């Protein structure tokens, strides 16, 4: 099968009536709409049997479709949203709401995030975050998460060893402010990152092997059933 | 001691994530829906309170409230 040469992120509201498995199947069907099979037969996503999209996990926890190994996906959730990204190659996705703990001020959260960056991030990332902790923290956090989902490694002892931004300051990405805006992309660790604030106070990052078109598709309850 | 630790975990998770209703068997991901960011926030709160470091490799072994209690006791934490 020939898959679309783009990554599509499907966004669902957590409070819709669908379960997570149903959302994933629905998104997989949408991504596969119109793909061509080796036989040349055009398949419509709706017609692809749901059994194609039974999920299994690798020993390290990365989900995959054993009956559709060529279809790559990644899942994330935070706050009000649940998202899955589909692509023709390995992909990792992460979203994160810009949350603070209860009764914490933004200034206190900023100090805490700088500490967390030094605890969990690569030293270069920690320096990058320290300059403007609050929003850059979420930018790096989602990039790190998307990277470990891309590799399938997950968060392990080596989590802090990989730097997901360029080593040199002049190549550091201009991470977006808290309001929705254009996506920013950069390369690090031999892979490509694409990041956007898709809704106020929600950062989303994709990690893929190489640069390719990325698209965000919102699925309302009506569209997703 | 276990009860004290349980209460501490309950309070910390509530303060950091807003999630309530923990019991000993509560799974942080499956039952509370916490994501990695939430869990790292809770880990940081524990580390700061007890002045210990919980290695990343240990974090994902702590799936349920009771795992955390056992882990803290193994770490020699005797008071909250």
CATH of the domain at B30: 1.10.1200.10
Task: Return the residue of B nearest to A77 by Cα.
Answer: B35
> What confidence tens digit (pLDDT) does each residue in A80-133 have?
999 999 999 999 999 999 988 878 898 999 998 999 999 889 999 999 998 777
- The answer to whether residue A114 sits within a structural domain is yes
Suggest the residue from A57, A119, A138, A161 to mutate for an interface test with chain B (most B CBs closer than 10 A): A119
In a domain? residue A224: no
- CA distance linking residue A90 with residue A72, whole number of Å: 6
Q: Quote the pLDDT of residue A34.
A: 57
Which residue on chain B is closest to A76 by alpha carbon? B35
Q: How many residues does chain B have?
A: 80
Residue A145: Cβ-neighbour burial (10 angstroms; 0-12, 13-18, 19+) = buried
CATH number at residue A57: 3.90.470.20
Residue B79 lies in a domain: no
Q: How far is A129 from chain B (nearest CA, A)?
A: 16
**ipTM at complex level:** 0.82
pTM score of the predicted model: 0.88
Judge: A157–B41 Cβ closer than 8 Å, yes or no: no
Q: Quick check: is B80 in a domain? A: no
Does residue B67 sit within a domain? yes
Q: Which of A196, A209, A96, A202 is nearest to A152 (CA)?
A: A209
Q: Is A127 part of any domain? A: yes
The answer to whether residue B33 is domain-embedded is yes
Residue A109 tokens, joined: 């959260």
How many distinct structural domains can be found in chain B?
1
- Is B53 inside any structural domain? yes
Cβ of B41 within 8 Å of Cβ of A156? The answer is no
Range name among A21-25, A42-46, B38-42, B58-62 with the lowest pLDDT average: A42-46
Q: Whose CA is closest to A145, among A125, A130, A128? A: A125
Question: How far is it, in rounded angstroms, from Cα A138 to Cα A198?
Answer: 13
- What integer pLDDT is reported at residue A38 of this predicted model? 45
Q: Are A125 and A140 in contact (CB under 8 A)?
A: yes
Q: Is residue B56 one of the residues assigned to a domain?
A: yes
Chain A residues whose CB is inside 8 A of the B36 CB are 145, 155
Cβ separation of B41 and A77 shorter than 8 Å?
A: no
Phi/psi region, residue A49 (left: phi>0; alpha: psi -120 to 50; beta: rest), is beta
Question: Of residues A128 and A33, which shows the higher confidence score?
Answer: A128
Interface of A with B in 106-125 (CB under 8 A): 112, 115-116, 119-120
B40 in a structural domain: yes
Residues of the domain holding A172: 7-218
Are B33 and A132 in contact, with CB atoms under 8 Å apart?
A: no
Using CA atoms of A162, A98, A77, A84 in order, give the dihedral in degrees to the nearest 10.
-70
DSSP reduced 3-state for A218? strand
Q: Which sign does the torsion angle of CA A199, B15, B54, A124 carry?
A: positive
Contact criterion met (CB below 8 Å) for A82 and A198: no
d(CA A7, CA A162): 24
Question: What does each C-alpha distance from A185 to A8, A212, A214 come to in angstroms?
Answer: 15, 10, 11
Q: Do A77 and B35 touch (CB under 8 A)?
A: yes
Q: Is residue A207 part of a domain?
A: yes
What residues pair up with A8 in beta bridges, in sequence order? A86, A215
Pick among A155, A160, A203 to test the B interface (most B CBs inside 10 A): A155
Residue A184 sits at φ, ψ, to 5 deg, of -120, 140
Whole-angstrom Cα distance, residue A12 to residue A22? 11
pLDDT at A1 over 90: no
**Minimum mean pLDDT among A37-41, A67-71, A146-150, A199-203: which range?**
A37-41
Q: Is residue B52, in this structure, part of any structural domain at all?
A: yes
Task: Tell me what pLDDT residue A64 has.
Answer: 93
Structure tokens that stand for A178 in this block: 């808290």
The C-alpha of B78 sits at a distance from chain A's nearest C-alpha, in angstroms, of 25
pLDDT computed for residue A157 by the predictor: 72
Q: How many domains does chain A have?
A: 1
Question: CA of B35, closest CA in chain A: separation in Å?
Answer: 7
Give the pLDDT score at A224. Answer: 56
Domain range holding B11?
Answer: 2-18+26-74
pLDDT over threshold 80, residue A16: yes
């Amino acid at each position: 099968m020939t898959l679309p040469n783009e990554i599509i992120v499907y966004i669902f509201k957590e409070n819709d009536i669908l379960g997570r498995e149903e959302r994933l199947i629905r998104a997989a069907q949408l991504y596969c709409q119109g793909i061509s099979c080796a036989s040349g037969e055009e398949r419509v996503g709706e017609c692809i049997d749901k059994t194609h999209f039974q999920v299994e996990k690798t020993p390290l926890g990365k989900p995959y479709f054993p009956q559709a190994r060529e279809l790559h996906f990644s899942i994330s959730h935070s706050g009000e949203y649940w998202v899955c990204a589909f692509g023709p190659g390995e992909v990792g996705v992460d979203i994160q709401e810009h949350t603070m703990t209860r009764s914490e001020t933004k200034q206190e959260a900023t100090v805490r995030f700088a500490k967390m960056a030094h605890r969990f991030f690569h030293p270069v990332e920690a320096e990058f975050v320290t300059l403007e902790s609050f929003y850059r923290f979420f930018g790096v956090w989602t990039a790190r998460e998307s990277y470990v989902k891309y590799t399938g490694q997950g968060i392990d002892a080596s989590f802090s060893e990989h730097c997901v931004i360029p080593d040199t300051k002049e190549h550091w990405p201009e991470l977006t402010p808290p309001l929705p805006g254009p996506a920013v992309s950069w390369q690090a660790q031999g892979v490509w990152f694409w990041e956007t604030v898709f809704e106020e106070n929600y950062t989303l990052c994709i990690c893929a092997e190489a640069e390719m078109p990325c698209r965000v598709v919102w699925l309302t309850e009506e569209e997703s059933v | 001691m276990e009860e004290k630790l349980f209460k501490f975990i309950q309070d910390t998770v509530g303060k950091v994530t807003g999630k309530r209703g923990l019991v000993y068997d509560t799974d942080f991901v499956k039952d509370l829906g916490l994501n990695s960011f939430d869990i790292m926030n809770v880990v940081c709160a524990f580390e700061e309170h007890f002045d210990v470091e919980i290695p990343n490799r240990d974090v994902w072994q702590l799936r349920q409230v009771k795992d955390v209690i056992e882990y803290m006791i193994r770490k020699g934490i005797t008071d909250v």
